[in-house]
Structure 1
Amino acid sequence: MNQELPIRIILESPPPGVDFGIQKGSGNNYETILKQRSGKEDLCFEFKISVKENQVSLPDFKGPYVHGPSSERFIYVDIGTAAGQFDSVWTRRLKIPLRDISAETIQQLLTDASLVLETKVPGTGKDGGPNCATVKPFPGWHLSPTGR
């Protein structure tokens, strides 16, 4: 049975003037949702993904925002032209891994509506542009209160 998990991704200090959003769908058939233009503040994306247990009782994340094989699921953040900002000099995507989330953490999240699964990742890369590729080092996911 699939159950929904609330997710919060915070992009810390992204370079200003660039559109960022969450990729829904894959291949050429995708759309960017929750689009935001960066300014002086961190960007925050809140949405839900599905989870179910697979044959070895491990969580398997599903849904239109989840990409990759079951052992390496991730979420894409579209950036610049990839997010529909056609006048941007940037065409990038950022991979947010869905790893190291325990069954206990998921159970706690499913039983307590005051919690959200959150990660904070750098919004700016080493080149000074928007962070892209797989987040490294990845700080992981933690439970956080729903109100910010």
Structure 2
Amino acid sequence: MAKADQIAIRLRILIEQPVIGVRYSLQAKDDQPLDPKTSQTGEPLSFDLPIRIAPGPKFFGDQVRREGPVRRFIYIRIGQLAGDPASDWSRRMKIDIHDLDETLLARAIEARGIEIVVNGTGKDGTPACATVPPIRRQPVER
């Protein structure tokens, strides 16, 4: 698909209740940590990244991963995978974007941004991992 047919927007992933002292990062195109952050007091962590949306909808971008013909998601690396070799954790969060509601997606395209909020702590008190369901998704201005 030609880039001319794609609309660029900003995706913000907001991790509420991250585990204090644990490093989180985006996963770069080369599978390395990107933009590592650590919550010192439980404050939310925010990651902004560009994505492109094409009719279908289809999703593209350096941090957009794929699984099969439809599923698209963003990885958040945790602990050792986020560049902290001393961490007890070596995990990733998978945040789906392929299932965005069409109405929300249209509003996000108009606003040129969307925010996906997830919980950073699992029920057992450790860093959330695997596929993490969104708490909310909303359009945001750039």
**TM norm. shorter chain > 0.5:** yes
Deviation at 1:145, TM superposition (A): 3.8
Q: How many residues align?
A: 136
Q: Which SS does the other structure have where 1:89 is aligned? A: coil
Matched letter for residue 42 of structure 1: P
Aligned 1:22-41 pairs, distance under 5 A? 22-25=26-29, 29-40=30-41, 41=43
Match of 1:119 in 2: 116
Residue identity opposite 1:120 in structure 2: V
Structure 1 alignment gaps of length 5 or more? none
CA distance in 2 between counterparts of 1:120 and 1:111 reads: 19
Task: Answer yes or no: is 1:139 the counterpart of 2:141.
Answer: no
For the residues of structure 2 that align with 1:110 and 1:126, how far apart are their CA atoms? 34
Deviations 1:48-103 (A, max 9, x none): 111212xxxx2111122111234111100000011111111100000001133244
Provide the rounded CA distance (Å) in 2 between the counterparts of 1:109 and 1:59.
Answer: 13
* Residue aligned with 1:110, SS: helix
Give 1:144 shift. Answer: 2.7
Counterpart position of 1:3 = 7
- Secondary structure, in 3 states, of the residue corresponding to 1:82? helix
The residue identity in structure 1 corresponding to 2:40 is G
Per the alignment, residue 83 of structure 1 pairs with 82
What's the Cα RMSD here?
A: 1.8
Whole-angstrom CA distance in 2 between matches of 1:112 and 1:89: 39
1:44 Cα offset (Å): 0.8
> Which of residues 9, 16, 19 is equivalent to 1:15?
19
Does the aligned pair in 2 maintain the 1:61–1:70 contact within 8 Å?
A: no
For 1:34 and 1:88, the matched residues in 2 are separated by 17
When the two structures are superposed, what TM-score results if normalisation uses the length of structure 2?
0.85
Gaps of 5+ in 2: none
Give the percent of matched residue pairs that are identical in Structure 1 and Structure 2.
32
Q: CA deviation at 1:140?
A: 4.7
Q: Does 1:63 align with 2:61?
A: yes
Task: Describe the SS at the equivalent of 2:64.
Answer: coil
List structure 1 runs of 4+ shifted beyond 6 angstroms. Answer: none
Q: For 1:63 and 1:111, locate their aligned partners in 2 and report how far apart those are by CA, in whole Å.
A: 19
